[in-house]
Structure 1
Amino acid sequence: MPKQKQVSLNLAHRGASGHAPENTLAAFRLARQMGADGFEFDVQVTKDGVPVVIHDEALVRTTGASGYVFDYTFEEIRRLDAGSWYGEQFRGEKIPSLEEVFAEFGDLVLNVELKNSYYAMPQLEEKTIGLIRKYKLEQQVIVSSFHHMSMQELHRLAPDLKTGLLYDCVLVDAVAYAKRLGASALHPFFGTVKPDLVAEAHAAGLMVNVWTVNDEMHMRLCAQAGVDAIITNYPDRLRTVLNSVLD
């Protein structure tokens, strides 16, 4: 029998953020409706140590509030409106907790990005691991970060979990570097990826998951290069491209 083509996973970037406010339950539910295999989202901790889903450390862009996520308790964070900045129809969308996302979307592939590159987020690795264990999502979740020491620490604490190294440049000896840190995947900016890197990574047992690919031509090139996952703001657009690649 002929070998079946590998199909890249369709992962919605912060949910279907091209159509709904990023990192909200509305965006995640829409991603599911659009046929995404899962989604990528960002996690930080509140002042009282609750992991919540939001990209920026500063609250102003998506909620209009002053200060930073770590200045607010979870109860205070929940009072903020994380939807109306995108559109009036999303007014009242809340910043979700990581636990809420795991509870509702554990049937999907979940790429949890730890936003701990600029500010210390005490216990973020441990709390994320604890919730993965609680919901038995070891096979569904990959944890990534631009903070590679955090990924090394997470691997030390939970060597069975998948970790991905985020980067936006051309890394020298990227595959050897990832293996040395115990990572499961490279998460490069899509423009740095060539088929030979994908082949080298696959030969070493690593995944290659690229971000953030919104143009159809770039989606097609990434899929043809054999990447394992494509992260996009438009999972509906990517679904069409991936279906055409299979034809």
Structure 2
Amino acid sequence: MGQVESLFTCLQLFCLGCLFVLSTLLRVAQGALRWIVNAVAYNVKFRKVHLDKFLKGIIAHRCGTPENTLDGIRWCKKCGAVAVEMDLRVTKDGIPVIYHDDDITRMTLDEANSSREGEGSSIPTIFQVLELCKELDLTIFLEVKAFIGFGPPKAREIIKKLYMEDQSLYDRMIVCSFSPLLLLLVRLMDQKIPVAIIHRRYPITTVMPRHVLKPLLPYIDGVILWCIHAWFVDLLGITLMLVHKDGLSWWYVEDWRRKNVNILAWTVNDKHEQAFCEKVLQIPFMTDHPTT
């Protein structure tokens, strides 16, 4: 028993030591971030792009049904949607497509379409989608999945190409992402491009629940959320946040409203939650059921 108790005591001391080291590193990181932010803010002043015009009417999440497809976009238009949200990824052979999951990064476009035989519509490229949305007069919320197999620098180059080839996108498409780095790169590249940051509670913990660093993920989430709320949104001149419905409250919305930042809720399918967003919070929302 004495050996077991000694081992348990050592483990407790080890955990306490790790927490002390982690808290010290977080304090150092916080100080470094403040220094970097002050240095950047001194040299760069991002112009705010107000996006109120994008927030009127029904906004369809993942292009309706079937999700992230051309048929889904046409269905959204028939249902009365004025805007569609979609996910941008890049295939193994470097083709930018509209697709949600990260398995597309390990396949070519032909391989991905072959694996979807019998599931309806094929996977569309971003160029096909932009052409159809222009034809149907639909606003686009382009969520850029700039993580696995598709980093922010590569995503920035694709976004640059899209806006250079079609100048009307400045009035029809918002670049959205969970990645602060991507939004920073886009703003540094072209301040006229409308951008929005996507936010939810525990963003890293939610997408990596079984990661080997799981005990540390809540602390990483804490640092990310502190950065977003303390300085990132204001520094980049962001005026729109896409926030998961479970993280919303009247006080939260009002706090951002005082900072001239609009909130767009996702994904709100329940009728009572939709009424809460419209009548109490007075904010727009995305839904999987874009019926009038």
The interval holding the TM-score normalised by the smaller chain is: 0.7 to 0.9
Report the Cα distance in structure 2 between the residues aligned to 1:30 and 1:175, rounded to whole angstroms: 40
Q: How is 1:114-133 mapped onto 2 (pairs within 5 angstroms)?
A: 114-121=144-151, 123-133=154-164
Report whether the alignment pairs 1:57 with 2:102: yes
User: Compared with structure 1, are the counterparts of its residues 97 and 25 closer, same or farther at alpha carbon in structure 2 (3 Å cutoff)?
Assistant: same
Q: For the Cα contact (< 8 Å) 2:70–2:132, is it kept in 1?
A: no
Paired position in structure 2 for 1:110: 140
Partner of 2:237: 182
> Is 1:22–2:52 an aligned residue pair?
no
The CA deviation at 1:184 is 3.0
Structure 1 residues 175 and 34: CA distance shift in structure 2, 3 A: farther
Asked if 1:81 is matched to 2:116, the reply is yes
**Identity across the alignment (%):** 25
- The answer as to whether partners of 1:24 and 1:82 remain within 8 angstroms in 2 is no
With normalisation by structure 2, the TM-score equals 0.65
Equivalent-residue separation in structure 2 for 1:199 and 1:183 (angstroms): 16
State whether structure 2 residue 262 is matched by structure 1 residue 207: yes
Q: Distance in 2 between matches of 1:143 and 1:181?
A: 14
Match of 2:36 in 1: none
Name which of structure 1's ranges 123-132 and 212-221 shifts more when overlaid on structure 2.
123-132
Match of residue 46 from structure 1: 91
The C-alpha deviation readout for 1:61-97, integer Å capped at 9, x for no partner, is: xxxxxxxx2233344444443761xxxxxx3x11011
In structure 1, the partner of 2:9 is none
Equivalent pairs counted in the alignment come to: 210
Does the aligned pair in 2 maintain the 1:189–1:211 contact within 8 Å?
yes
CA RMSD, Structure 1 to Structure 2 (Å): 2.3
Q: 2:246 aligns with which of 188, 191, 197?
A: 191
Instruction: Provide closer, same or farther for how the CA distance between residues 82 and 223 of structure 1 changes in structure 2, counting only shifts above 3 A.
Output: farther
1:137 aligns with 2:175: no
Residues 1:226 and 2:282 are matched in the alignment: yes
User: How many angstroms does 1:27 deviate by?
Assistant: 1.1
Normalized per residue, which structure has more helix? 2
Structure 1 portions without partners, runs of 5+: 1-6, 59-68, 85-90, 240-247
Provide the rounded CA distance (Å) in 1 between the counterparts of 2:117 and 2:124: 9
